[in-house]
Structure 1
Protein backbone atom coordinates (compact mmCIF):
# COMPACT_ATOMS: atom_id res chain seq x y z
CA UNK A 1 0.00 0.00 0.00
CA UNK A 2 1.61 3.23 -1.13
CA UNK A 3 -0.93 5.63 0.37
CA UNK A 4 0.33 8.02 3.03
CA UNK A 5 -1.33 10.50 5.33
CA UNK A 6 0.01 14.07 5.46
CA UNK A 7 3.07 14.42 7.71
CA UNK A 8 2.68 16.63 10.74
CA UNK A 9 6.10 18.29 10.89
CA UNK A 10 7.89 20.31 8.26
CA UNK A 11 11.22 21.37 9.72
CA UNK A 12 14.33 19.63 8.46
CA UNK A 13 17.21 18.96 10.84
CA UNK A 14 19.47 20.71 8.36
CA UNK A 15 18.53 22.58 5.16
CA UNK A 16 19.19 20.94 1.79
CA UNK A 17 22.80 21.49 0.86
CA UNK A 18 23.26 19.75 -2.49
CA UNK A 19 24.05 22.42 -5.02
CA UNK A 20 25.14 20.60 -8.12
CA UNK A 21 22.15 18.81 -9.62
CA UNK A 22 22.19 19.13 -13.36
CA UNK A 23 19.27 20.37 -15.44
CA UNK A 24 18.61 16.79 -16.53
CA UNK A 25 18.42 15.71 -12.90
CA UNK A 26 16.08 18.44 -11.73
CA UNK A 27 12.78 16.81 -12.73
CA UNK A 28 13.75 13.81 -10.69
CA UNK A 29 14.83 15.86 -7.70
CA UNK A 30 11.11 16.44 -7.28
CA UNK A 31 10.79 12.94 -5.96
CA UNK A 32 12.30 14.22 -2.70
CA UNK A 33 8.65 14.09 -1.60
CA UNK A 34 9.17 10.38 -1.11
CA UNK A 35 10.91 11.22 2.14
CA UNK A 36 7.92 13.11 3.48
CA UNK A 37 6.90 10.27 5.74
CA UNK A 38 10.39 9.19 6.74
CA UNK A 39 12.30 9.73 9.94
CA UNK A 40 15.50 8.44 11.40
CA UNK A 41 14.07 7.38 14.74
CA UNK A 42 15.44 4.02 15.89
CA UNK A 43 13.11 1.06 16.25
CA UNK A 44 13.27 -1.85 18.64
CA UNK A 45 11.82 -4.22 16.06
CA UNK A 46 13.86 -6.45 13.79
CA UNK A 47 15.93 -9.56 13.69
CA UNK A 48 18.69 -7.97 15.79
CA UNK A 49 16.40 -6.30 18.32
CA UNK A 50 17.06 -8.73 21.19
CA UNK A 51 20.62 -9.58 20.30
CA UNK A 52 23.76 -8.21 21.90
CA UNK A 53 25.97 -7.77 18.83
CA UNK A 54 29.70 -7.68 18.98
CA UNK A 55 31.39 -4.33 18.52
CA UNK A 56 31.68 -3.67 14.79
CA UNK A 57 34.54 -1.53 13.53
CA UNK A 58 35.46 -0.10 10.15
CA UNK A 59 39.12 0.17 9.19
CA UNK A 60 40.22 2.60 6.50
CA UNK A 61 43.46 4.13 5.32
CA UNK A 62 44.43 1.02 3.38
CA UNK A 63 45.27 2.61 0.04
CA UNK A 64 46.75 0.03 -2.35
CA UNK A 65 46.69 -2.66 0.36
CA UNK A 66 44.50 -5.21 -1.42
CA UNK A 67 42.63 -5.13 -4.70
CA UNK A 68 40.77 -8.31 -3.85
CA UNK A 69 39.70 -10.17 -0.74
CA UNK A 70 41.88 -13.04 -1.98
CA UNK A 71 45.61 -13.22 -2.42
CA UNK A 72 48.64 -12.82 -0.21
CA UNK A 73 48.25 -9.15 0.66
CA UNK A 74 44.62 -9.54 1.67
CA UNK A 75 45.44 -12.69 3.65
CA UNK A 76 48.21 -10.89 5.46
CA UNK A 77 45.87 -8.07 6.36
CA UNK A 78 43.26 -10.49 7.71
CA UNK A 79 45.91 -12.32 9.70
CA UNK A 80 47.25 -9.08 11.10
CA UNK A 81 43.81 -7.94 12.21
CA UNK A 82 43.15 -11.37 13.74
CA UNK A 83 46.34 -10.99 15.73
CA UNK A 84 44.93 -7.72 17.06
CA UNK A 85 41.79 -9.54 18.20
CA UNK A 86 39.52 -8.70 15.25
CA UNK A 87 37.48 -10.95 12.98
CA UNK A 88 37.27 -9.57 9.43
CA UNK A 89 33.67 -10.04 8.27
CA UNK A 90 33.78 -8.23 4.93
CA UNK A 91 35.82 -5.95 2.70
CA UNK A 92 34.02 -3.16 0.88
CA UNK A 93 35.33 -1.25 -2.10
CA UNK A 94 33.35 1.92 -2.56
CA UNK A 95 33.91 5.62 -3.18
CA UNK A 96 37.46 4.95 -4.41
CA UNK A 97 38.44 3.45 -1.07
CA UNK A 98 38.66 0.13 0.74
CA UNK A 99 36.78 -0.43 3.97
CA UNK A 100 37.51 -3.48 6.12
CA UNK A 101 34.75 -4.41 8.54
CA UNK A 102 35.96 -6.08 11.72
CA UNK A 103 34.12 -7.49 14.73
CA UNK A 104 35.58 -7.68 18.22
CA UNK A 105 34.08 -9.19 21.36
CA UNK A 106 33.54 -6.10 23.51
CA UNK A 107 34.39 -2.40 23.93
CA UNK A 108 37.65 -3.17 25.72
CA UNK A 109 38.87 -5.33 22.84
CA UNK A 110 37.70 -2.61 20.47
CA UNK A 111 39.92 -0.11 22.26
CA UNK A 112 42.93 -2.44 22.13
CA UNK A 113 42.34 -3.21 18.45
CA UNK A 114 42.08 0.48 17.62
CA UNK A 115 45.31 1.30 19.44
CA UNK A 116 47.26 -1.36 17.53
CA UNK A 117 45.71 -0.53 14.16
CA UNK A 118 46.35 3.18 14.54
CA UNK A 119 49.98 2.51 15.42
CA UNK A 120 50.16 0.83 12.01
CA UNK A 121 48.82 3.94 10.29
CA UNK A 122 45.22 2.80 9.89
CA UNK A 123 42.06 4.63 10.87
CA UNK A 124 39.46 2.82 12.96
CA UNK A 125 35.98 3.86 14.02
CA UNK A 126 32.85 2.14 15.20
CA UNK A 127 30.28 1.24 12.57
CA UNK A 128 26.98 3.06 13.15
CA UNK A 129 23.41 1.85 12.78
CA UNK A 130 21.03 3.28 10.21
CA UNK A 131 17.29 2.69 10.54
CA UNK A 132 14.38 2.79 8.09
CA UNK A 133 11.96 5.64 8.61
CA UNK A 134 8.64 4.33 9.99
CA UNK A 135 5.87 4.45 7.42
CA UNK A 136 2.61 6.24 8.07
CA UNK A 137 0.86 4.33 5.31
CA UNK A 138 -2.86 3.94 6.03
CA UNK A 139 -5.93 2.95 4.11
CA UNK A 140 -9.28 3.25 5.86
CA UNK A 141 -11.47 2.16 2.96
CA UNK A 142 -11.12 0.89 -0.61
CA UNK A 143 -10.36 3.78 -2.91
CA UNK A 144 -10.01 4.43 -6.59
CA UNK A 145 -6.71 5.89 -7.71
CA UNK A 146 -5.80 9.09 -5.89
CA UNK A 147 -3.02 11.65 -5.92
CA UNK A 148 -1.46 12.11 -2.44
CA UNK A 149 -1.26 15.61 -1.05
CA UNK A 150 2.56 15.68 -1.29
CA UNK A 151 2.56 14.83 -4.99
CA UNK A 152 0.16 17.67 -5.71
CA UNK A 153 2.44 20.06 -3.81
CA UNK A 154 5.45 18.96 -5.88
CA UNK A 155 3.66 19.98 -9.08
CA UNK A 156 1.65 22.81 -7.55
CA UNK A 157 -1.46 21.10 -8.80
CA UNK A 158 -2.17 18.13 -11.03
CA UNK A 159 0.52 15.66 -12.07
CA UNK A 160 1.53 16.29 -15.72
CA UNK A 161 0.27 13.87 -18.33
CA UNK A 162 2.35 10.91 -19.46
CA UNK A 163 4.02 12.77 -22.33
CA UNK A 164 5.85 14.94 -19.78
CA UNK A 165 7.85 11.98 -18.49
CA UNK A 166 10.58 10.10 -20.41
CA UNK A 167 9.73 6.53 -21.36
CA UNK A 168 13.35 5.46 -20.99
CA UNK A 169 16.27 6.75 -18.93
CA UNK A 170 20.03 6.59 -19.26
CA UNK A 171 20.62 6.84 -15.52
CA UNK A 172 17.91 5.07 -13.51
CA UNK A 173 16.76 6.09 -10.06
CA UNK A 174 18.08 3.85 -7.29
CA UNK A 175 16.24 3.13 -4.03
CA UNK A 176 18.06 1.79 -0.96
CA UNK A 177 15.55 0.37 1.49
CA UNK A 178 13.76 -2.86 2.47
CA UNK A 179 13.11 -4.15 -1.02
CA UNK A 180 10.47 -3.73 -3.71
CA UNK A 181 7.39 -5.90 -4.07
CA UNK A 182 7.57 -6.82 -7.73
CA UNK A 183 4.04 -8.22 -7.70
CA UNK A 184 2.51 -4.97 -6.46
CA UNK A 185 -0.12 -3.97 -9.05
CA UNK A 186 0.60 -0.26 -8.76
CA UNK A 187 4.37 -0.42 -9.29
CA UNK A 188 6.44 -0.80 -12.47
CA UNK A 189 7.36 -4.43 -13.08
CA UNK A 190 10.72 -3.70 -14.72
CA UNK A 191 12.63 -2.77 -11.55
CA UNK A 192 15.82 -4.79 -11.09
CA UNK A 193 18.47 -5.41 -8.45
CA UNK A 194 21.37 -2.97 -8.44
CA UNK A 195 23.33 -5.65 -6.59
CA UNK A 196 23.48 -8.84 -8.72
CA UNK A 197 23.71 -10.88 -5.50
CA UNK A 198 20.16 -9.77 -4.68
CA UNK A 199 18.63 -10.97 -7.95
CA UNK A 200 17.99 -14.55 -6.83
CA UNK A 201 14.38 -15.07 -5.66
CA UNK A 202 15.63 -17.81 -3.34
CA UNK A 203 18.09 -15.49 -1.61
CA UNK A 204 17.50 -14.06 1.86
CA UNK A 205 18.06 -10.52 0.54
CA UNK A 206 16.08 -10.85 -2.69
CA UNK A 207 15.29 -7.34 -3.90
CA UNK A 208 11.84 -8.29 -5.25
CA UNK A 209 10.32 -9.04 -1.86
CA UNK A 210 9.59 -6.68 1.00
CA UNK A 211 8.81 -8.02 4.46
CA UNK A 212 8.70 -4.50 5.91
CA UNK A 213 6.64 -2.88 3.14
CA UNK A 214 8.72 0.24 3.72
CA UNK A 215 10.73 0.12 0.50
CA UNK A 216 7.56 -0.62 -1.46
CA UNK A 217 5.86 2.38 0.15
CA UNK A 218 8.80 4.62 -0.75
CA UNK A 219 8.91 3.25 -4.30
CA UNK A 220 5.20 4.02 -4.65
CA UNK A 221 5.75 7.63 -3.70
CA UNK A 222 8.37 7.82 -6.42
CA UNK A 223 6.91 5.69 -9.19
CA UNK A 224 3.35 4.48 -8.55
CA UNK A 225 1.65 4.00 -11.91
CA UNK A 226 -0.85 6.64 -13.00
CA UNK A 227 -4.11 6.02 -14.79
CA UNK A 228 -4.55 2.41 -13.70
CA UNK A 229 -7.57 3.13 -11.52
CA UNK A 230 -6.08 1.97 -8.23
CA UNK A 231 -3.62 2.96 -5.52
CA UNK A 232 -1.87 6.29 -5.88
CA UNK A 233 0.13 8.30 -8.39
CA UNK A 234 3.88 8.74 -7.91
CA UNK A 235 6.09 11.75 -8.54
CA UNK A 236 7.37 10.03 -11.69
CA UNK A 237 4.48 7.70 -12.56
CA UNK A 238 5.75 4.37 -13.83
CA UNK A 239 9.41 5.45 -13.68
CA UNK A 240 11.29 3.02 -15.95
CA UNK A 241 14.23 0.87 -14.96
CA UNK A 242 14.29 1.47 -11.21
CA UNK A 243 17.28 -0.02 -9.42
CA UNK A 244 16.83 -1.46 -5.95
CA UNK A 245 19.25 -2.30 -3.13
CA UNK A 246 17.84 -4.09 -0.10
CA UNK A 247 19.48 -3.33 3.25
CA UNK A 248 16.57 -4.02 5.65
CA UNK A 249 14.25 -6.98 6.21
CA UNK A 250 16.27 -10.11 5.57
CA UNK A 251 14.09 -13.11 4.78
CA UNK A 252 13.30 -15.08 7.93
CA UNK A 253 13.60 -12.09 10.22
CA UNK A 254 10.62 -10.82 12.29
CA UNK A 255 11.03 -7.19 11.25
CA UNK A 256 13.12 -4.60 9.49
CA UNK A 257 15.97 -4.28 11.97
CA UNK A 258 18.72 -1.92 10.90
CA UNK A 259 21.64 -1.64 8.50
CA UNK A 260 25.19 -0.58 9.23
CA UNK A 261 26.70 2.60 7.84
CA UNK A 262 29.29 0.44 6.08
CA UNK A 263 26.49 -1.51 4.37
CA UNK A 264 24.90 1.75 3.30
CA UNK A 265 28.12 2.96 1.68
CA UNK A 266 28.38 -0.35 -0.13
CA UNK A 267 24.73 -0.05 -1.25
CA UNK A 268 25.33 3.40 -2.75
CA UNK A 269 28.29 2.01 -4.66
CA UNK A 270 26.02 -0.73 -6.02
CA UNK A 271 23.64 1.97 -7.21
CA UNK A 272 26.47 3.83 -8.90
CA UNK A 273 27.75 0.65 -10.53
CA UNK A 274 24.26 0.06 -11.95
CA UNK A 275 24.35 3.45 -13.68
CA UNK A 276 22.28 5.47 -11.22
CA UNK A 277 23.01 9.14 -10.65
CA UNK A 278 20.25 9.74 -8.06
CA UNK A 279 20.02 7.64 -4.90
CA UNK A 280 17.04 7.63 -2.54
CA UNK A 281 17.49 6.70 1.13
CA UNK A 282 14.46 6.99 3.39
CA UNK A 283 16.58 6.07 6.40
CA UNK A 284 19.08 7.44 8.86
CA UNK A 285 20.53 7.42 12.33
CA UNK A 286 23.08 8.94 14.66
CA UNK A 287 25.87 9.60 15.42
CA UNK A 288 27.80 10.61 12.29
CA UNK A 289 30.70 8.63 10.92
CA UNK A 290 33.92 9.95 9.40
CA UNK A 291 34.25 7.17 6.83
CA UNK A 292 30.59 7.52 5.87
CA UNK A 293 30.94 11.29 5.52
CA UNK A 294 34.05 10.89 3.37
CA UNK A 295 32.32 8.32 1.16
CA UNK A 296 29.29 10.52 0.50
CA UNK A 297 31.58 13.45 -0.27
CA UNK A 298 33.33 11.29 -2.85
CA UNK A 299 30.01 10.25 -4.37
CA UNK A 300 29.01 13.92 -4.52
CA UNK A 301 32.30 14.86 -6.19
CA UNK A 302 31.61 12.14 -8.76
CA UNK A 303 28.25 13.71 -9.62
CA UNK A 304 25.93 11.50 -7.56
CA UNK A 305 22.86 13.13 -5.99
CA UNK A 306 22.21 11.40 -2.66
CA UNK A 307 18.89 12.16 -0.96
CA UNK A 308 18.20 11.04 2.60
CA UNK A 309 15.63 11.45 5.37
CA UNK A 310 16.29 14.20 7.89
CA UNK A 311 13.36 13.04 10.02
CA UNK A 312 9.90 14.36 10.71
CA UNK A 313 10.33 14.86 14.45
CA UNK A 314 10.16 18.64 14.19
CA UNK A 315 13.19 19.08 16.45
CA UNK A 316 16.83 20.10 16.19
CA UNK A 317 18.29 16.59 16.07
CA UNK A 318 20.56 15.52 13.23
CA UNK A 319 20.16 12.38 11.18
CA UNK A 320 22.89 10.83 9.06
CA UNK A 321 23.63 10.56 6.20
CA UNK A 322 21.06 13.36 5.63
CA UNK A 323 23.02 15.90 7.66
CA UNK A 324 26.27 15.57 5.74
CA UNK A 325 26.91 18.58 3.51
CA UNK A 326 27.17 16.34 0.43
CA UNK A 327 23.67 14.87 0.88
CA UNK A 328 20.31 16.49 0.12
CA UNK A 329 18.44 16.49 3.42
CA UNK A 330 14.64 16.21 3.26
CA UNK A 331 12.01 16.22 5.99
CA UNK A 332 8.33 16.89 6.45
Structure 2
Protein backbone atom coordinates (compact mmCIF):
# COMPACT_ATOMS: atom_id res chain seq x y z
CA UNK A 1 0.00 0.00 0.00
CA UNK A 2 2.81 2.35 0.98
CA UNK A 3 4.76 1.49 -2.18
CA UNK A 4 1.71 2.19 -4.33
CA UNK A 5 1.28 5.60 -2.70
CA UNK A 6 4.94 6.41 -3.33
CA UNK A 7 4.66 5.36 -6.96
CA UNK A 8 1.52 7.45 -7.44
CA UNK A 9 3.16 10.44 -5.78
CA UNK A 10 6.23 10.02 -7.98
CA UNK A 11 4.07 9.87 -11.11
CA UNK A 12 2.11 12.95 -10.05
CA UNK A 13 5.31 14.93 -9.48
CA UNK A 14 6.63 13.70 -12.82
CA UNK A 15 3.52 15.02 -14.56
CA UNK A 16 3.53 18.25 -12.55
CA UNK A 17 7.22 19.12 -12.39
CA UNK A 18 6.26 22.80 -12.12
CA UNK A 19 5.62 22.15 -8.43
CA UNK A 20 9.37 22.43 -7.77
CA UNK A 21 9.50 25.93 -9.23
CA UNK A 22 6.47 26.89 -7.13
CA UNK A 23 8.08 25.48 -3.98
CA UNK A 24 11.33 27.23 -4.86
CA UNK A 25 9.46 30.52 -5.11
CA UNK A 26 7.91 29.91 -1.70
CA UNK A 27 11.33 29.17 -0.20
CA UNK A 28 12.78 32.38 -1.70
CA UNK A 29 9.91 34.40 -0.22
CA UNK A 30 10.47 32.85 3.22
CA UNK A 31 14.23 33.51 3.02
CA UNK A 32 13.63 37.15 2.07
CA UNK A 33 11.39 37.45 5.12
CA UNK A 34 14.04 35.83 7.30
CA UNK A 35 16.77 38.19 6.08
CA UNK A 36 14.69 41.38 6.29
CA UNK A 37 12.73 40.37 9.38
CA UNK A 38 9.46 41.06 7.55
CA UNK A 39 7.57 38.38 5.65
CA UNK A 40 4.64 40.17 4.02
CA UNK A 41 2.29 39.70 1.08
CA UNK A 42 3.46 43.10 -0.11
CA UNK A 43 6.92 41.68 -0.76
CA UNK A 44 5.47 38.81 -2.78
CA UNK A 45 3.13 41.07 -4.79
CA UNK A 46 5.91 43.56 -5.55
CA UNK A 47 8.21 40.83 -6.83
CA UNK A 48 5.35 39.23 -8.75
CA UNK A 49 4.86 42.56 -10.51
CA UNK A 50 8.54 42.68 -11.44
CA UNK A 51 8.32 39.05 -12.57
CA UNK A 52 5.46 39.88 -14.94
CA UNK A 53 7.86 41.11 -17.62
CA UNK A 54 9.99 37.98 -17.38
CA UNK A 55 6.89 35.78 -17.45
CA UNK A 56 5.75 37.29 -20.76
CA UNK A 57 9.20 36.97 -22.33
CA UNK A 58 9.68 33.43 -21.03
CA UNK A 59 6.34 32.26 -22.43
CA UNK A 60 7.51 33.24 -25.91
CA UNK A 61 10.95 31.76 -25.37
CA UNK A 62 9.33 28.55 -24.17
CA UNK A 63 7.50 28.05 -27.46
CA UNK A 64 10.74 28.39 -29.45
CA UNK A 65 12.59 26.00 -27.13
CA UNK A 66 9.73 23.50 -27.35
CA UNK A 67 9.98 23.46 -31.16
CA UNK A 68 13.17 21.43 -30.78
CA UNK A 69 16.60 21.11 -32.37
CA UNK A 70 18.16 23.33 -29.72
CA UNK A 71 16.17 26.37 -30.80
CA UNK A 72 16.51 29.49 -28.66
CA UNK A 73 15.47 33.03 -29.58
CA UNK A 74 18.48 35.25 -28.88
CA UNK A 75 16.91 38.29 -30.53
CA UNK A 76 14.29 38.98 -27.87
CA UNK A 77 16.49 41.30 -25.79
CA UNK A 78 16.89 43.59 -28.79
CA UNK A 79 13.23 43.27 -29.79
CA UNK A 80 12.31 44.51 -26.31
CA UNK A 81 14.35 47.69 -26.76
CA UNK A 82 13.13 48.26 -30.32
CA UNK A 83 9.47 47.93 -29.37
CA UNK A 84 9.90 50.30 -26.43
CA UNK A 85 11.25 53.02 -28.72
CA UNK A 86 8.86 52.37 -31.61
CA UNK A 87 5.74 52.15 -29.45
CA UNK A 88 6.59 55.38 -27.62
CA UNK A 89 6.81 57.26 -30.92
CA UNK A 90 3.78 55.66 -32.57
CA UNK A 91 1.51 55.98 -29.53
CA UNK A 92 2.20 59.70 -29.28
CA UNK A 93 1.51 60.28 -32.96
CA UNK A 94 -1.27 57.77 -33.64
CA UNK A 95 -2.82 56.84 -30.31
CA UNK A 96 -2.27 53.95 -27.93
CA UNK A 97 -4.17 51.18 -29.72
CA UNK A 98 -2.96 51.88 -33.30
CA UNK A 99 0.58 52.41 -31.99
CA UNK A 100 0.53 49.11 -30.12
CA UNK A 101 -0.90 47.19 -33.08
CA UNK A 102 1.73 48.51 -35.50
CA UNK A 103 4.51 47.85 -32.98
CA UNK A 104 3.40 44.24 -32.55
CA UNK A 105 3.10 43.88 -36.33
CA UNK A 106 6.73 44.98 -36.70
CA UNK A 107 7.73 42.44 -34.05
CA UNK A 108 5.75 39.74 -35.87
CA UNK A 109 7.76 40.57 -38.99
CA UNK A 110 10.93 39.97 -37.00
CA UNK A 111 9.60 36.53 -36.07
CA UNK A 112 8.75 35.81 -39.71
CA UNK A 113 12.29 36.72 -40.79
CA UNK A 114 13.75 34.52 -38.06
CA UNK A 115 11.54 31.64 -39.15
CA UNK A 116 12.38 32.12 -42.83
CA UNK A 117 16.14 32.09 -42.28
CA UNK A 118 15.93 29.16 -39.88
CA UNK A 119 13.59 26.92 -41.86
CA UNK A 120 14.29 27.79 -45.49
CA UNK A 121 17.98 28.67 -45.36
CA UNK A 122 18.60 25.97 -42.73
CA UNK A 123 20.59 28.28 -40.47
CA UNK A 124 20.46 27.12 -36.80
CA UNK A 125 18.02 29.12 -34.71
CA UNK A 126 20.59 30.50 -32.30
CA UNK A 127 22.79 31.83 -35.11
CA UNK A 128 19.76 33.18 -36.96
CA UNK A 129 18.32 35.04 -33.99
CA UNK A 130 21.71 36.30 -32.81
CA UNK A 131 22.41 37.81 -36.24
CA UNK A 132 18.89 39.24 -36.36
CA UNK A 133 19.46 40.67 -32.92
CA UNK A 134 22.49 42.62 -34.09
CA UNK A 135 20.46 44.05 -36.97
CA UNK A 136 17.69 45.06 -34.58
CA UNK A 137 20.20 46.61 -32.19
CA UNK A 138 21.62 48.70 -35.03
CA UNK A 139 18.10 49.98 -35.65
CA UNK A 140 17.73 50.73 -31.94
CA UNK A 141 20.95 52.76 -31.96
CA UNK A 142 19.73 54.81 -34.92
CA UNK A 143 16.26 55.38 -33.47
CA UNK A 144 17.60 56.33 -30.04
CA UNK A 145 19.51 59.26 -31.55
CA UNK A 146 16.24 60.80 -32.75
CA UNK A 147 13.89 60.14 -29.82
CA UNK A 148 14.05 59.88 -26.03
CA UNK A 149 11.59 57.00 -26.01
CA UNK A 150 9.34 58.66 -23.46
CA UNK A 151 6.00 56.81 -23.26
CA UNK A 152 2.57 58.46 -23.21
CA UNK A 153 1.41 59.36 -19.71
CA UNK A 154 -1.50 56.91 -19.69
CA UNK A 155 0.83 53.96 -20.36
CA UNK A 156 3.17 55.08 -17.58
CA UNK A 157 0.24 55.47 -15.19
CA UNK A 158 -1.09 52.03 -16.17
CA UNK A 159 2.21 50.25 -15.55
CA UNK A 160 3.53 52.29 -12.61
CA UNK A 161 0.70 53.55 -10.43
CA UNK A 162 -2.62 51.91 -11.27
CA UNK A 163 -3.73 49.31 -8.74
CA UNK A 164 -6.76 47.01 -8.70
CA UNK A 165 -7.45 45.74 -5.17
CA UNK A 166 -3.85 46.62 -4.35
CA UNK A 167 -2.44 44.62 -7.26
CA UNK A 168 -0.77 45.99 -10.40
CA UNK A 169 -2.56 45.28 -13.70
CA UNK A 170 0.77 43.83 -14.86
CA UNK A 171 0.07 40.84 -12.63
CA UNK A 172 -3.31 40.29 -14.25
CA UNK A 173 -1.76 40.59 -17.70
CA UNK A 174 0.84 37.96 -16.83
CA UNK A 175 -1.85 35.60 -15.53
CA UNK A 176 -4.13 36.14 -18.54
CA UNK A 177 -1.29 35.57 -21.03
CA UNK A 178 -0.25 32.45 -19.12
CA UNK A 179 -3.79 31.05 -19.27
CA UNK A 180 -4.00 31.80 -22.99
CA UNK A 181 -0.64 30.10 -23.51
CA UNK A 182 -1.87 27.04 -21.61
CA UNK A 183 -4.91 26.82 -23.87
CA UNK A 184 -2.78 27.37 -26.99
CA UNK A 185 -0.19 24.73 -26.14
CA UNK A 186 -2.37 22.02 -24.62
CA UNK A 187 -5.81 22.45 -26.16
CA UNK A 188 -5.13 23.35 -29.80
CA UNK A 189 -3.72 21.64 -32.86
CA UNK A 190 -0.81 24.08 -32.90
CA UNK A 191 0.24 22.97 -29.43
CA UNK A 192 0.11 19.28 -30.36
CA UNK A 193 2.10 19.94 -33.52
CA UNK A 194 4.66 22.05 -31.64
CA UNK A 195 5.36 19.29 -29.13
CA UNK A 196 5.49 16.66 -31.86
CA UNK A 197 7.97 18.75 -33.84
CA UNK A 198 10.11 19.21 -30.75
CA UNK A 199 10.25 15.50 -30.03
CA UNK A 200 11.13 14.36 -33.56
CA UNK A 201 10.66 16.61 -36.58
CA UNK A 202 11.05 13.84 -39.15
CA UNK A 203 8.50 11.59 -37.44
CA UNK A 204 6.15 14.54 -36.95
CA UNK A 205 6.39 15.46 -40.64
CA UNK A 206 5.64 11.88 -41.66
CA UNK A 207 2.60 12.05 -39.36
CA UNK A 208 1.29 15.06 -41.26
CA UNK A 209 2.57 17.90 -39.09
CA UNK A 210 3.45 21.05 -41.05
CA UNK A 211 6.82 21.66 -39.46
CA UNK A 212 7.64 24.91 -41.24
CA UNK A 213 4.32 26.53 -40.35
CA UNK A 214 4.55 25.36 -36.74
CA UNK A 215 8.10 26.64 -36.20
CA UNK A 216 7.20 29.92 -37.92
CA UNK A 217 4.38 30.45 -35.45
CA UNK A 218 6.70 29.80 -32.49
CA UNK A 219 9.14 32.50 -33.66
CA UNK A 220 6.32 34.95 -34.35
CA UNK A 221 4.79 34.35 -30.92
CA UNK A 222 8.15 34.86 -29.24
CA UNK A 223 8.79 38.15 -31.06
CA UNK A 224 5.28 39.48 -30.45
CA UNK A 225 5.45 38.74 -26.72
CA UNK A 226 8.89 40.38 -26.61
CA UNK A 227 7.41 43.43 -28.33
CA UNK A 228 4.50 43.59 -25.91
CA UNK A 229 6.91 43.26 -22.99
CA UNK A 230 9.08 46.07 -24.35
CA UNK A 231 6.07 48.36 -24.62
CA UNK A 232 5.12 47.67 -21.00
CA UNK A 233 8.72 48.05 -19.82
CA UNK A 234 8.98 51.42 -21.54
CA UNK A 235 5.97 52.61 -19.58
CA UNK A 236 7.18 51.07 -16.32
CA UNK A 237 10.65 52.63 -16.53
CA UNK A 238 9.30 55.92 -17.83
CA UNK A 239 11.23 55.65 -21.07
CA UNK A 240 13.19 53.36 -23.37
CA UNK A 241 16.93 52.79 -23.31
CA UNK A 242 19.21 50.79 -25.57
CA UNK A 243 20.00 47.84 -23.28
CA UNK A 244 16.69 47.55 -21.46
CA UNK A 245 16.23 43.92 -22.56
CA UNK A 246 19.78 42.77 -21.82
CA UNK A 247 19.14 41.38 -18.34
CA UNK A 248 16.20 39.29 -19.55
CA UNK A 249 17.93 37.08 -22.14
CA UNK A 250 19.44 34.38 -19.93
CA UNK A 251 16.59 34.48 -17.42
CA UNK A 252 14.02 34.03 -20.22
CA UNK A 253 15.81 30.77 -21.04
CA UNK A 254 16.31 29.72 -17.44
CA UNK A 255 12.70 30.27 -16.32
CA UNK A 256 11.13 27.70 -18.70
CA UNK A 257 13.90 25.16 -18.05
CA UNK A 258 13.61 25.56 -14.27
CA UNK A 259 9.88 25.01 -14.64
CA UNK A 260 10.24 21.73 -16.52
CA UNK A 261 10.50 22.71 -20.19
CA UNK A 262 13.03 20.47 -21.92
CA UNK A 263 15.91 22.40 -23.46
CA UNK A 264 16.03 19.65 -26.11
CA UNK A 265 12.44 20.41 -27.14
CA UNK A 266 9.16 18.53 -27.21
CA UNK A 267 8.17 19.23 -23.61
CA UNK A 268 6.81 22.45 -22.13
CA UNK A 269 5.29 23.69 -18.90
CA UNK A 270 3.32 26.93 -18.78
CA UNK A 271 2.84 26.76 -15.01
CA UNK A 272 6.50 25.87 -14.57
CA UNK A 273 7.58 28.82 -16.69
CA UNK A 274 5.33 31.14 -14.67
CA UNK A 275 6.77 30.00 -11.34
CA UNK A 276 10.28 29.73 -12.78
CA UNK A 277 10.15 33.43 -13.63
CA UNK A 278 8.80 34.24 -10.17
CA UNK A 279 11.54 32.12 -8.58
CA UNK A 280 14.31 33.93 -10.46
CA UNK A 281 12.86 37.34 -9.59
CA UNK A 282 12.63 36.42 -5.91
CA UNK A 283 16.18 35.03 -6.06
CA UNK A 284 17.46 38.40 -7.31
CA UNK A 285 15.52 40.14 -4.53
CA UNK A 286 17.05 37.78 -1.95
CA UNK A 287 20.55 38.45 -3.24
CA UNK A 288 19.91 42.20 -3.12
CA UNK A 289 18.61 42.24 0.46
CA UNK A 290 21.52 39.98 1.47
CA UNK A 291 23.83 42.84 0.38
CA UNK A 292 26.04 40.55 -1.67
CA UNK A 293 28.36 42.28 -4.16
CA UNK A 294 27.26 42.34 -7.80
CA UNK A 295 30.02 39.89 -8.76
CA UNK A 296 28.75 37.33 -6.26
CA UNK A 297 25.16 37.79 -7.43
CA UNK A 298 26.15 37.21 -11.05
CA UNK A 299 28.18 34.15 -10.04
CA UNK A 300 25.23 32.60 -8.19
CA UNK A 301 22.75 33.31 -10.98
CA UNK A 302 25.12 32.07 -13.68
CA UNK A 303 25.97 28.95 -11.69
CA UNK A 304 22.30 28.19 -11.15
CA UNK A 305 21.60 28.52 -14.88
CA UNK A 306 24.44 26.13 -15.75
CA UNK A 307 23.27 23.56 -13.19
CA UNK A 308 19.68 23.71 -14.46
CA UNK A 309 20.67 23.40 -18.12
CA UNK A 310 23.07 20.52 -17.46
CA UNK A 311 20.49 18.73 -15.32
CA UNK A 312 17.79 19.04 -17.98
CA UNK A 313 19.75 17.57 -20.91
CA UNK A 314 20.33 14.02 -19.62
CA UNK A 315 16.60 13.60 -18.96
CA UNK A 316 15.85 14.05 -22.64
CA UNK A 317 18.75 11.86 -23.69
CA UNK A 318 17.65 9.12 -21.34
CA UNK A 319 14.13 9.16 -22.77
CA UNK A 320 15.51 8.74 -26.28
CA UNK A 321 17.56 5.64 -25.43
Confirm or deny a common fold (TM above 0.5). Answer: no
TM superposition score normalised by structure 2 = 0.27
Higher relative contact order (CA 8 A, sep 6+): 2
Higher fraction of strand: 1
Higher fraction of helix: 2
TM superposition score normalised by structure 1 = 0.26
